[in-house]
């Protein structure tokens, strides 16, 4: 016989003990269960009329075995859960597990235990409280949780014409020069100075201060692990990647939020404030003819010939 999550049941001439057994069954095996205490209008037979949704699919004989009530009549639900529950409510003398609200959520869908766990993880992710999310939820849903966190961050006002905007065009910097001249070292120095600058900037402009974090992006299209960091560092740029990524770079160097991809999800909008890149090649060597003028307008190139020498 087939398995299902959803059952309807009737129990005639029930006893208080049998009612207690059903309630304990609900707490152990069900995402939700409800029943009404009814009396047949013609015969006066007292009975329970109810329905439940299991945490995992089971066959009727297995359910009956778990209940241990031979007299109970079980059948697969023929309607959606909420329709069955509404029918069982007609006596207005009902018992609900875990409560009435979760038997009838506003969308008319059940909030299962799995669904409740995921909803809790979403709520924590939107607040950035990833250390409180269970390992199970992180393993299964990390890209989706990160997406929710980033998309619920307040977007900076990036409009150039707004005197209170936070668009720092002069901080889109390319550090270029041969290997060994100190480009990566200088990136570290820039990051340290940016953090000091940001603290003073927030104080001066009466903005809520939060220390700047750094995202080290690989030279590919993915933004895996990005969690809304305001400083983005991309090192060792090559001409081929630079040309293939022209559209992404234009968006990165503009003032508007833009979508990015991470493995398992698409983040609809991000907006880093500071972009630092390093390369052995000059900006002119990196750019194609088609993209060159647009990208050059937004980048501030710094040429390194020897360590600490710009």
The domain segmentation of the chain, as residue ranges, is 4-111, 119-151, 169-303
Pairwise pLDDT comparison (94 vs 205), residue with the higher score: 94
Q: Confidence class of residue 306 from pLDDT cuts 50, 70 and 90? A: low
User: Tell me, what's the pLDDT at 310?
Assistant: 47
User: Tell me, what's the pLDDT at 160?
Assistant: 43
> Could you tell me whether strands 231-237 and 214-217 are parallel, antiparallel, or unpaired per DSSP bridges?
parallel
Identify whether the C-beta of residue 281 lies closer than 8 Å to the C-beta of residue 176. Answer: yes
Classify domain 169-303 at the CATH topology level.
Answer: Rossmann fold (3.40.50)
Answer yes or no: is pLDDT of 41 > 70.
yes
Q: Confidence class of residue 210 from pLDDT cuts 50, 70 and 90? A: confident
Q: How far apart (Å, rounded) are the C-alpha atoms in residues 15 and 21?
A: 10
Contacts of 281 by beta carbon, 8 Å cutoff, 6+ apart: 176, 237, 238, 239
Contacts of 147 by beta carbon, 8 Å cutoff, 6+ apart: 262, 265, 266, 267, 268
User: Tell me, what's the pLDDT at 34?
Assistant: 95
Pairwise pLDDT comparison (286 vs 63), residue with the higher score: 63
Q: How far apart (Å, rounded) are the C-alpha atoms in residues 50 and 54?
A: 13
3-state secondary structure of 276: strand
- CATH architecture entry for 4-111: 3-Layer(aba) Sandwich (3.40)
User: Tell me, what's the pLDDT at 9?
Assistant: 97
User: Tell me, what's the pLDDT at 191?
Assistant: 93
pLDDT single digits (tens) 232-279? 999 998 888 877 776 777 888 777 788 888 887 888 888 888 899 999
pTM summary value:
0.58
Answer yes or no: is pLDDT of 12 > 50.
yes
Answer yes or no: is pLDDT of 294 > 90.
no
Q: How far apart (Å, rounded) are the C-alpha atoms in residues 153 and 130?
A: 14
Identify whether the C-beta of residue 231 lies closer than 8 Å to the C-beta of residue 189. Answer: no
**Which of 34, 38, 58 is CA-nearest to residue 47?**
38
Element (H, E) at 28: helix 16-29
Give backbone dihedrals phi and psi of 145, rounded to 5 degrees, phi first.
-70, -40
The answer for 264, left when phi > 0, alpha when psi is -120 to 50, beta otherwise, is left
Contacts of 142 by beta carbon, 8 Å cutoff, 6+ apart: 264
Helix count and strand count (H, E) for the chain: 11, 12
> Considering just the CA atoms, what is the radius of gyration of the chain in Å?
30
Answer yes or no: is pLDDT of 156 > 50.
yes
CB atoms within 10 A of CB 263: 10
3-state secondary structure of 117: helix
User: Tell me, what's the pLDDT at 288?
Assistant: 63
Least confident interval from 6-10, 190-194, 271-275:
271-275
Which of 74-111 are b and which e, b meaning 16 or more Cβ less than 10 Å from the residue's Cβ? beebeeebbebbeebbeeeebbbbbeeebbbeeeeebb
Supply the mean pLDDT for the chain: 83
Q: How far apart (Å, rounded) are the C-alpha atoms in residues 167 and 160?
A: 7
């Amino acid at each position: 016989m087939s398995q299902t999550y959803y059952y309807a049941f009737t129990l005639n001439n029930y006893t208080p003990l049998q009612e207690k057994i059903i309630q304990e069954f609900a707490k152990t095996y069900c995402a939700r269960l409800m029943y009404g205490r009814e009396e047949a209008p013609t015969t006066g037979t007292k009975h329970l009329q109810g329905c439940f949704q299991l945490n995992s699919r089971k066959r009727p004989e297995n359910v009956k075995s778990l209940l241990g009530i031979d007299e109970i009549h079980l059948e697969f639900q023929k309607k959606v859960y909420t329709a069955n529950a509404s029918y069982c409510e007609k006596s207005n003398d009902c018992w609900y597990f875990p409560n009435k609200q979760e038997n009838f959520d506003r969308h008319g869908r059940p909030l299962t235990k799995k669904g409740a766990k995921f909803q809790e993880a979403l709520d924590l992710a939107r607040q950035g409280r990833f250390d409180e999310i269970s390992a199970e939820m992180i393993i299964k849903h990390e890209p989706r949780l990160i997406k929710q966190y980033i998309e619920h961050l307040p977007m900076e006002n990036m409009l150039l014409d707004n005197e209170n905007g936070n668009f720092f065009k002069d901080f889109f910097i390319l550090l270029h020069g041969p290997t060994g001249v100190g480009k990566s070292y200088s990136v570290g120095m820039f990051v340290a100075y940016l953090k000091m600058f940001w603290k003073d900037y927030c104080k001066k402009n009466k903005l809520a201060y939060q220390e700047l974090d750094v995202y080290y992006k690989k030279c590919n299209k993915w933004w895996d692990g990005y969690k809304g960091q305001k400083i983005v560092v991309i090192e060792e740029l090559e001409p081929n990647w630079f040309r293939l990524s022209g559209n992404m770079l234009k968006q990165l160097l503009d003032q508007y939020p833009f979508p990015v991809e991470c493995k398992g999800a698409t983040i609809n909008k991000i907006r880093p404030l500071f972009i630092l890149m390093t390369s052995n090649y000059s900006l002119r060597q990196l750019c194609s003819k088609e993209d060159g003028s647009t990208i050059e307008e937004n980048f501030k190139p710094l040429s390194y010939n020897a360590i600490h020498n710009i």
